[in-house]
Structure 1
Amino acid sequence: MLRSLIKLYLFVMLGGGASIVFINHAFPQLFHEYATDEVRENFKPYAFAMAYYLQQHPDTQREAALATLKQHGGSGFGLHALQDVAPRLDADQLNDLRDGKLVLSLDAEEYYLPLPDGIIAHAPLDTQAMNGIEALAYGLLALATLLSVLLWVFYHWRDLRKLQDAAQAFGVGRLSTRVQLSRRSNIYDLSRQFNEMAGQIEASIQQQRDLMHGISHELKTPLARLEFGLALLDSPQASERERERQLALRKDVRELDELVTELLTLSRLEQGVGQAVLTWVTVAELIDSVVADVAHDIAERALHLSVHVNGAPEQHVCDARLVARALLNLLRNSMRYARRTILLRAEAGAAGALRLSVEDDGPGIPPDARVRVFEPFYRQDASRDRHTGGFGLGLSIVRRVALVHGGDVVLEESTNGGARFVVTLPEAVAHDRWHQTVSQDSDPPHVEAGVSSAGPRAPEQMRERR
């Protein structure tokens, strides 16, 4: 906005300066007759005094009188014969001189005044005394223009900032954001169109969310009935083939149930900040509880999980349940592709933020796919079998958790060659809205930085992305 203000002021000053130059140079020629009449009227006393002075001296004293007149005439003053100044004037001006009239040059900077005996007094118009005053006047004009521009831009700038803030808030998910401007605002029509657009987008997205939420809820009931029905079908008399089929059906039902749960979670997170219960959380305890949840899976896959929390703040304001869910999703994603090592790190970020990173030594993700991995149901390959698992919603949930906290998540290349996910949770601003409590009810197992959380390690197995 400051750049726009400077450009506007420069355009105004350039336009004003060009107008002043045009007036000073073109107007004397365009209005030469009018200017000549004005100078003649103003010079009447001056012309009378000079003529009277010369008439008081006889012919014998005329040379001395002319010399005295030149001496007191000032810079540029001269006395000439008519034939000496004739080349500088046109026919009309010469006729005026012969008629005893004052003549003004075409640029209105010099005058020719006829005196008795055919003498022509020639001198520049005395404008030097006015130069300083004109400079001051132009300075005041520039200042007045600047103040006028500032006054106009202030209200315009204020309304544009409101529109910009509303657009930013709408872009990060606060779909109920609207712009409230006065009808006298220069951008009132634009703000009204923005509000109409925002209302239509909010209604469309809300309908999609309600539809997904409703479908997910409705799927829960038949899935429960299927689970119950499969349990009733289990009998000791069933053949081995029937048991295998029942087991496969149970796995399919559980997979569908997990998918519905993920959809419900994503739907709730898309509702925005209202879904977060923000409290003071001890960072080390949060990390330990997450590590405890995945310790068994880490041991089964013969992986090594290193945890570093030395650089992390002692406490941070966040929703512990959502942040733990995001970390679990990242860890489970890394477990699918890590070859030997997974690194979980918590550290202090800029301006009091909390940075949580999970990286592995797997094959990594190509740069052109690092943005799309956070899209719902996106998978790097086309396979959706049980070897890789997942539904393509885990990383979407991680991103929504970060956005709910006002932060973000990025995907980078790990120093070990795999993928590195970094979640940034900014420092809380409105502390008075949040419960400043620290849970002391649980005592999760303590994990030393850099020590495997899986206990004794099983033989390591190689895992590759498919």
Structure 2
Amino acid sequence: MSLNFFLTIYARLAGVTALVILICTLLFNGINSVRHQFWHERFAEPLMRWLAVTPAPVRQYHWMPSMFDLRSGHPGQFELSSVTMERLGYGQVVAQRTGVGYRYLVQSYDGDVISLRLEQAYREMAQAVALIIRWHLETTTPGQRLEVIDQLADALGVSIQPVQDLEWLPDQSVLEGVSESGLVVFSEQREQDARVLLRLSEGDLVVVRMPAPFNSWGWPVIALLLVVVGSVLAIALFLAIRFVDTHLRKVESVAVRIARGEMGARVESEQGTLVSRLAGSFNSMAEHIQRLVEVQREMIHAVSHELRTPVARIRFGVQMIESGNSPEVLARQLDGIDGDIQELDELIDEILTYARLEQGGPVFSLREDSVTDIIRQVVSEQQIIRTGIQIDCCIDDASERWALADVEPRYIHRAIQNLVGNAARYAAGHVVVNCHLDEDNCRIDVEDDGPGIPEQDWEKVFTAFARLDDSRTRTSGGYGLGLSIVRRILYWHGGQAFVGRSDELGGARFSLVWPRRKSVESVL
């Protein structure tokens, strides 16, 4: 996996994560602002409606103006907006956020507006409700107290329970607080709703349980966030799958085009995408297939052309044998047929070797061997064959130090042999083989004093079955496969073959260059 691809995927995942977090945050804050406002109005509604139906609540509950800023008056005294006035006219309880808490408004039965201001809405609302309950319980007889408790609990939306069992008593700290002030707001462990412990004048204890406070993580919010997160992830996944599917369809369409015979079709893909490596591998495969098809066509054409001449000579020789009477003529024709068969055998060997190298290469078994020994062996063998040509081998001491390299000896021997034999075929009388080895690379230069190769034909000489007008003719021999085999052998060794002009001898110079050490994993 490339670093660019990893960073691209990481950036996209980070972007999706940031988008999900941003959307969830905005929804959470937006929805909870509405829910919080709605909760305040619903939470204060029982108390405010109780005050609305109470005649002169400011005088009746005389302690509330000082503690909770309870006021009652004409609507014009409160500087209310038209929307607020309209809501109050409909009998709704309005909660307004102020700089020091919340102000709760309701319209009484006589048209006045009742206002209640709380700094800590939940706690102070519990205190206000508890004080009203205690006032009413204090003003009733003990016999009517249970009936009044039921009425108050139903009207104020709370649970009121006289303490009649020791198990119902709260912690000691709460009891100490109620003995001092007569009223304590507390919460039980693992419970969020507030409770108020009241002590009546007779010493009786009453517990008032308030509704649950506002919960920002209510199940509707959680369900909505889960739906949003799931939807965003589903959209992101859909876009990702669609992106991959689009690129895979490109590969599929190109494969169909190639199957129809459009060998030049290629996949166009941007770098760093999920299928860029697949597209690159597919294009390499397509180029290899196209090259194999072209090589096959060239080979069929060239083989049919190359085989025609020796086959014709063999047919002619057989006819001469049938009509010949002299033993000398028969021997001469048999020698000619034997030479033609030898030529066919060499041609078939060249074709098979080239086809094996071109169609994916042999199973190379690289092993450490001496390159200089292989060069000396080739030179000695060619010197025996090319008796009229001087073949020199130049290997310096520095190269001898790095003679051992990872090679396939048989194919390196074949490559050097093809170059030396080709040079000796066209040389006027002198061929030089230079070897330059160092810690990293191996280089072999084969130079001759022949006519050389024109610069415009330097690449053409490595083409299969290529014959140059000046330097390659029927009389010079060869089938146009030797240099192609050399280049493929060097390709499978991770190197290259070059052709140029010899500065020393004036003819052609062929060079082989490949890395001295090559990992086995990199060899196909």
Pick the structure with greater CA Rg: 2
TM-score normalised by structure 2 residue count: 0.44
TM-score normalised by structure 1 residue count: 0.48
